[in-house]
Amino acid sequence: MPTSRQRRTFVPVHPTPCGKYTLIAKIGHGGMAEVFLAVASGMAGFRKVSVVKRIHPQLLEEPEFVQMFMDEARLAARLSHPNVVQTHEVGEQDGVPFIAMEYMDGVAYDKLLKAIRRKGTRIPVKLAVRVVMESLAGLHYAHDLRDYDGTALGVVHRDISPSNIFITYQGVVKILDFGIAKATTKLSETRTGQIKGKLSYMAPEQARGKAIDRRADVWSMGVTLFETCTGVRLFKGESDVDTLQRVLTGDINTILKEEEDKLPALLFPIVEKSLARRVEDRFESADVMRKTLAEVLPQLDGPEPDVEGFLREHFEELAESQRAMVGDLLEQADQAAARAAPPVADDEEEAVPVVVSAPESRNTLRTVLLALLILGGVVGGVAVAMMSSGEPPADDGLATAQPSGVEQEPGDPAAEAAEGTAAESAEGARSAEGAPGADAPPAGGGEAAEAGDPAASTAESDGEGGAEGADAEEAEAAEEVASASDEAAARRLREARRRAAVRRRREQSATDEQASENQQPAAPATAESGTLRLVTRPWSEVYLGGQRIGTTPLLNHRLPAGSHTLVLRNPEMGLEQRMQVRIRPNETTRLNLALQ
């Protein structure tokens, strides 16, 4: 039975627009971005659940982090493969960039392994091999990705580990998080000697800060294959320094032989080749390693791997719990939307048909064209000239005009303004029908004009005033149409600006609250102090000497020059890690770490 720690945590948030999506719950956050559960709605009850990754608002003033986020967005938008998480779109809301991705109903591979380990067992070897094979297929696709002109992009994930492999409850394996991937599309650059990734899964050349290629990911998959088959951590040490030392100089053959009884003999040479210290001695690509595993898979003991069946057996309760949570969140979001929507007035619900005579229809058309002349200039003038020279239409009885009831979006100021005139417009229409020769008010004029639909407006003449009088009345009516349209547009613009201002104030309030926690007041610069910029994935609380100094990302945090021991803790995921950092006088030390 899954524990509370295994259950995916959704923290409901006030429904917030983000492009065409509405954010309804927070899933988590890292050093650079927040991750939300979101929903996109459409016609006929259409609804699609997605995941939206949005950069921390306080990092918008940091070009380095914005560029890193956009690098990830550009690459993610190019990736389309069954074994890679799908990106729907990259967008921006109120100046904050975001990435919208597919929502996957499943569990991260590292969580699966921990849950099985707590039961005192391991996953079947054949199933572990199958998961690695599917992951290698997704990696090979990314490694081979080319630009539109055929140029190889040279993608390297750089952070492959069980935490970045996801398995859906339908048994589909997906590679996650190309956030620190290397690619030629990147505009930001990794500084020489800068390390990105998890140390215990990192290839030696990557740990040394040297140039890397796709074979660095092959090493990481070799570590993953060994650990999932044996249940033994290969390089994990007591500290980061110990782990790094094992990666760089550890005797891999000795470690493998110590666990030989847990690793099938057929897999031993595959793991050994993928973990060759010389890059040239490894599998030349993820695809070659995958094909090698495919050859030995049928020869391994045990039933055929059924990933979906395995998850159903061990995680059915967790799956039902997650789906129920998502259902509740969607229902809450619908209720919030219903409460926010203004009530619809009775006289807006029914459209009143307006019937006028054929000569009145001709005058209406000429009025519309004059309005277009005022608003559009030359095109309208040409249209009026053409109409003036044409023959009047034959009176064939009755002509039906547009209905006076114009459907508006909920909350539209034009709908509110039109509400007060609907009854009067309908009454005017009835008068026109009963007494064709009498003066009557324009049927539905105010409502249709505010909706921006000149064809819905009607005007009448008394039929006795001559051409000069009719032209004057038509010009006056056209000015009223243009004025009403401009006024309605102005009201809609003012309302949109008001809503945007309210939204910005809410987001700024939340941003200021977190920024006040994350950014400590900078101490005066001295010759014996330096600055620390620390980003971790996932987020962490940072402690120095037993005192909490902030939450990542730490930006421009001043520390005395020298060596310091920091403790990084993520209480949500139960992670804690110690690290040594050296601060140089009057310099900025930049660290980007993945907690393990």
Q: Give the DSSP per-residue string, 434-479.
A: H-TTS----TTHHHHHHTT-GGG------S-SHHHHHHHHHHHHHH
Distance CA 380, CA 481 (A): 14
Report which residue type is found at 67.
Q
User: Which of these is catalytic: 71, 110, 159, 177?
Assistant: 159
Q: Is 60 helix (H, G, I), strand (E, B) or coil?
A: coil
| Contact criterion met (CB below 8 Å) for 219 and 282 | yes
What φ, ψ does residue 283 adopt, rounded to 5°? -60, 135
| Contact criterion met (CB below 8 Å) for 290 and 140 | yes
- Distances, alpha carbon 375 to alpha carbons 100, 267, 475, in Å: 40, 77, 12
Buried b (16+ CB within 10 A) or exposed e, 565-585: ebbbbbeebeeebebeeebee
Two structure tokens written together for 442: 């324009």
Helix %, strand %, coil % of the chain (to 5): 45, 20, 35
Q: Is 198 helix (H, G, I), strand (E, B) or coil?
A: coil
Closest CA to 177 of 20, 40, 53, 50: 53
C-beta neighbour count of 74 within 10 angstroms: 15
Q: Is 398 helix (H, G, I), strand (E, B) or coil?
A: strand
Buried b (16+ CB within 10 A) or exposed e, 358-377: ebbbbbbbbbbbbbbbeeee
Distance CA 377, CA 298 (A): 77
Q: Looking up tokens 């044409």, which residue turns up?
A: 390
Distance CA 369, CA 380 (A): 6
Closest CA to 567 of 231, 239, 213: 239
Distance CA 121, CA 231 (A): 9
Closest CA to 127 of 271, 262, 301: 301
Respond yes or no: is residue 159 known to be catalytic. Answer: yes
Report which residue type is found at 588.
T
Report which residue type is found at 507.
E
Two structure tokens written together for 212: 């890397």
Q: Is 485 helix (H, G, I), strand (E, B) or coil?
A: helix
Closest CA to 578 of 281, 292, 238: 238
Two structure tokens written together for 57: 């608002």
Two structure tokens written together for 96: 């904050």
Distance CA 185, CA 154 (A): 9
- Distances, alpha carbon 101 to alpha carbons 136, 478, 511, in Å: 21, 49, 24
What φ, ψ does residue 539 adopt, rounded to 5°? -60, 160
Report which residue type is found at 466.
G
| Contact criterion met (CB below 8 Å) for 417 and 397 | no
Q: Tell me which residues are annotated as active site.
A: 159
